[in-house]
Structure 1
């Protein structure tokens, strides 16, 4: 029986970035290694959507040598990191536990096997195109199309309500669930998708000719304008997900790919996917039932 060979932080980060190249990140992003000594051993890698006080404590409790989060802890920066500030508390918790922190944000949104690809997999859409910022790049020796969002056809048409129910079945539970704009019985098949906040891509969703646009964090004015214009010129129905939930699906596949890539180099790691709900909302209170909005035919 051979001894397990534990990778260093450098080994793990190198392997991860081969799968999700940092060069794919948007220029405003802050993806990359935030904390950690590159020669530190990493027997366990944790995955979470967000770096929070609880996901950091979980990583420490589970003996993780690296916590990979989709949302970078320092995306909006910090001038001071005392433990009286939540970013400071997270930083101190991880350093004291000798756990590194890696942010993997828009490079994961754009890449094969990333957030958008994982969501399309769950919809059963195998043939897809990039919604925005389409480019051909070399990843792992192959030319692939990358960019933000995806467009594709459902295997069979279904009603808007059926599609929303399908999505609700595979996303993690959140307080607000899904918000839907459009007639429940509308037949949909062509889907445009942008995991995370996506109302900046309404023009691309319209141009794609999609029957429905699935995204998160939709604001009143952009969504209202899209739906009002749809009354005149046509346009997609909307499914508004939790930002957290829409970007949760990729982690299982990423953990498997990372494990396999390191195994090919003789390393053994364990991984876990945090099941902590880091959506910021706790509950909702209905203000009453409605039959539909004025922006729906």
Structure 2
């Protein structure tokens, strides 16, 4: 059976309803004819030069991305602008672009389910449900098959997510047993109070800032407080597992109709990492 872009969009929007996107978000078909035939679909986190190149080389008629290309108000797409240039190139190449962002973040399954599965965490529910008792919402809470020291858990995260220059950073007691884990794909430091209330041993997310993280960890010194350790990963790496989830949704809905490709291009913006040498073993600056 011949599949069309609108068929792929329909499958994705059944799983990631557009009305679940945040009001400020920009999701849906960015360019491409819904009636156009589609034989190959590529999936990525970021719609950028590298992933557009990959999709075109693959012979795709549609690129499905997590991050929106045109999130802010747009009054034109001139070819001498980097985003406009991408739009022109995709149209000339017969490549459509579809974006599923915050509607994929909160879906069940969604971005955080894919992250949890990649880390070997069995999900028990959303971290921040849409409403009481809902199975949809932001982030996920779950458990490991058996407890392990925090130091080993941080290594688990590093081993199972794609490598980046940013790497994986852990904060908290290295020997603390970790069993109950909260995760949130993408930027998640707005959920720190929620993960405390959820009783997690560790929280895995991206883009943790200095002050919120430091203030969170300081609560560990308060008697009776159960404050999770923190694991900070690259934003791109935390959302990359979703690409396979979205690809599986399309192949399940359109079996034998489309071929899929999950991008292997690392589009994390951080490309260089260096360790400083200006501290002693005690962590103090040298005299």
- Residue 136 of structure 1 contacts residue 145 of structure 1 at CA under 8 Å; is this kept in 2? no
In structure 1, the residue matched to 2:251 is 259
Among 220, 231, 234, which residue is 2:210 paired with? 220
Aligned-pair CA distance for 1:134: 3.1
Q: How does 1:178-197 map to 2 (within 5 A)?
A: 178-197=168-187
Return the alpha-carbon distance in structure 1 between the equivalents of residues 262 and 181 of structure 2. 28
Please, what TM-score do these two structures have when normalized by structure 2? 0.92
Distance 1:290 1:54 in 2: 41
**Cα root mean square deviation, aligned:** 2.0
Is the Cα–Cα contact under 8 Å of residues 123 and 140 in structure 2 kept in the other structure?
no
**Alignment equivalent of 1:106, drawn from 102, 107, 110:** 102
Residue of structure 2 equivalent to 1:150: 140
Gaps spanning 5+ residues in structure 2: where?
Answer: none
Kept in 2, the 8 Å contact 1:152–1:191? The answer is yes
CA offset at residue 84 of structure 1? 2.2
Find the counterpart in structure 2 of residue 162 from structure 1: 152
Alpha carbons of 1:290 and 1:284: their partners in 2 closer, same or farther (altered >3 Å)? farther
TM-score (norm 1): 0.89
Partner of 1:247: 239
What's the CA shift for 1:96?
0.7
Count how many residue pairs are aligned between Structure 1 and Structure 2. 281
- Aligned partners of 1:190 and 1:211 also within 8 Å: yes
After superposing the two structures, state which structure 1 stretch, 72-81 or 273-282, moved more: 72-81
| Matching residue within 123, 129, 133 for 2:129 | 133
Match of 2:257 in 1: 268
Q: Distance in 2 between matches of 1:77 and 1:90?
A: 17
SS in 1 for 2:212: helix
1:57 aligns with 2:49: no
Taking a change above 3 Å as real, the CA distance of residues 186 and 292 of structure 1, as seen in their structure-2 partners, is farther
